[in-house]
Structure 1
């Protein structure tokens, strides 16, 4: 039987070193809830992220470490994406600094914090390299006013002027923009040099976007191809949070199954000198009895050389701080 080129790439990566030093796989909206299959899709499977308040968690492969961290920063209210993703990507307690949780997209105070304190900006300033593995349609990035790589393909769609005002950049896009790193387009996804946020490309194709279909294992091969040329690589996946808001068990299981298979393949192919962190920003999908976010802690997973400091993580901001420390940037 003919061997898949992506399977061959993963096999080679298991025995080769790489330029990558730290990789973060981010998944939106996955917290630590009760092991109740009626409301928690993570109770249906033994996922890497299946950890519970009231039951033991399955052991992690490859010597992985799992810790539980706070998402509230002592600020009243439910944790939100804009402020907590800013915390992850600055290493700073963003909700505490601005005095509130901010949903959706970063507001002016968070944008200011990101422009000044983005871990990507600090890495680049210190002579390190960083890359965002996600790929997006060029018209979408242009509407946000964020830089992107050159593209030779015709625009996938046109965004009307009145709609462009509603298109806002996420925290991750702002973090890389602050560092002057152009974002990937669908040309990169088609060339095997970037990933659609849904990993497989199914969601993008359902919207009529011309992207390849990939298995999670093939996507892991693309990820390490991208990561081989950077000191820091970031990937974000947000379908689980969308399923949580929709209270859609089937969609939640599909998103979590895909992310889990992808993460397992990424970790299995991890070069010996690379550190991989898996994290979320707040809870949501672990409790489908509500449409809103939860105040639950979230899991952070670590795979790599022994690291006692991961055990001392206390909030999601520790993820960003660890990236800086591991790459020698303070």
Structure 2
């Protein structure tokens, strides 16, 4: 079983005062990096059950990587930016949508014989998201990938049953802005809910995008709130996951690691694999290598 945690807008940048991974105390992040801070100076780790390496997010094109094509590359194993001719975001462009719909990690796992009900997209979405999609037809890379492969998109009822996660982990945003009869939870509660989903599925994806939002804000306090919340989440998650689970973590482009700029960066992004089968990710070089490694681990496990 594999859990893929996608962190939007997290790169490995220089160890400067503008890098919150340098200025903050983040023990769980450092645990994921073998006791190191998440910077460009970190030593790569390639062990049988622990990989921590930088991978390229520029995909051989000029300009700043963007979420639409970067996420499409990460979740399909194909160079979506090259397909489109340039980096594009935040949503997948029209030229790339068929790629996401037909070649996503979800679609490829289903094609390999893993039933869709053994795959899960852990994020919950409010009703207004579905109304927006119906009106505008504008899917994110993750929701398009899941929906097209027959993987159910989770809603408020799943969140109330602790069978989904809110975008902010704690649900404070849901509680404040959306009519839902559920109190906010702790990051540890969110981690345990996600670990329970992992135990029941072959593959689970969770998307966290507040890192990108914090990076664009250039607000050090906001970045600190986001990263320390994530750190509490990862600390609990590492302890809650089943021992046979493989945690994979990566991003689509850099951003939050350099608060001196409002834009994305061309820094490499982290790729972490922690648990049985991690060695399959050891030689990854770019975003396009993540999904093929996931397929190798799961199709071998299911053969």
Q: Which moved more, 1:239-248 or 1:257-266?
A: 257-266
Change (3 A) 1:326 1:23: same
The separation in 1 between residues aligned to 2:203 and 2:299, in whole angstroms, is: 12
2:81 aligns with one of 91, 95, 120: 95
Which residue number corresponds to residue 10 of structure 2? 30
Superposed, 1:278-297 pairs within 5 Å as 278-297=249-268
Change (3 A) 1:209 1:75: farther
The alignment partner of 2:235 has SS state of helix
User: Are 1:177 and 2:157 matched, yes or no?
Assistant: no
The separation in 2 between residues aligned to 1:326 and 1:264, in whole angstroms, is: 25
Deviation string for 1:145-197 (max 9, x for gaps)?
A: 4xxxxxxxxxxxxxxxxxx43x7221000110110112000111011111101
Which residue number corresponds to residue 291 of structure 2? 320
Which residue number corresponds to residue 122 of structure 1? 108
Change (3 A) 1:231 1:169: same
The alignment partner of 2:266 has SS state of coil
The separation in 1 between residues aligned to 2:21 and 2:98, in whole angstroms, is: 36
The separation in 1 between residues aligned to 2:64 and 2:179, in whole angstroms, is: 34
The separation in 2 between residues aligned to 1:31 and 1:213, in whole angstroms, is: 29
The separation in 2 between residues aligned to 1:51 and 1:298, in whole angstroms, is: 10
Q: CA contact under 8 A between 1:67 and 1:310: conserved in structure 2?
A: no
Please, what is the CA RMSD of the aligned residues? 2.3
1:213 aligns with one of 157, 163, 184: 184
Q: CA contact under 8 A between 1:267 and 1:303: conserved in structure 2?
A: no
Give structure 2 stretches of 5+ with no counterpart: 31-36
Which residue number corresponds to residue 143 of structure 1? 132
Q: Which moved more, 1:190-199 or 1:319-328?
A: 319-328
Which residue number corresponds to residue 34 of structure 2? none
Change (3 A) 1:122 1:265: same
Q: CA contact under 8 A between 2:50 and 2:279: conserved in structure 1?
A: no
* TM-score normalized with structure 1 length: 0.82
The separation in 2 between residues aligned to 1:76 and 1:174, in whole angstroms, is: 26
Deviation string for 1:196-233 (max 9, x for gaps)?
A: 01101112223244243111111111102222221110
The separation in 2 between residues aligned to 1:182 and 1:46, in whole angstroms, is: 34
The separation in 2 between residues aligned to 1:142 and 1:126, in whole angstroms, is: 32
Aligned residues: 288
Change (3 A) 1:232 1:271: same
Per-residue deviation at 1:32? 0.8
Per-residue deviation at 1:57? 6.4
User: Are 1:303 and 2:274 matched, yes or no?
Assistant: yes
Which residue number corresponds to residue 33 of structure 2? none
Change (3 A) 1:328 1:306: closer
Which one has a bigger Cα radius of gyration? Answer: 1
Which residue number corresponds to residue 199 of structure 1? 169
Per-residue deviation at 1:25? 0.6
Structure with higher helix content: 2
Give structure 1 stretches of 5+ with no counterpart: 1-20, 146-163
Which residue number corresponds to residue 72 of structure 1? 58
The separation in 1 between residues aligned to 2:44 and 2:78, in whole angstroms, is: 31
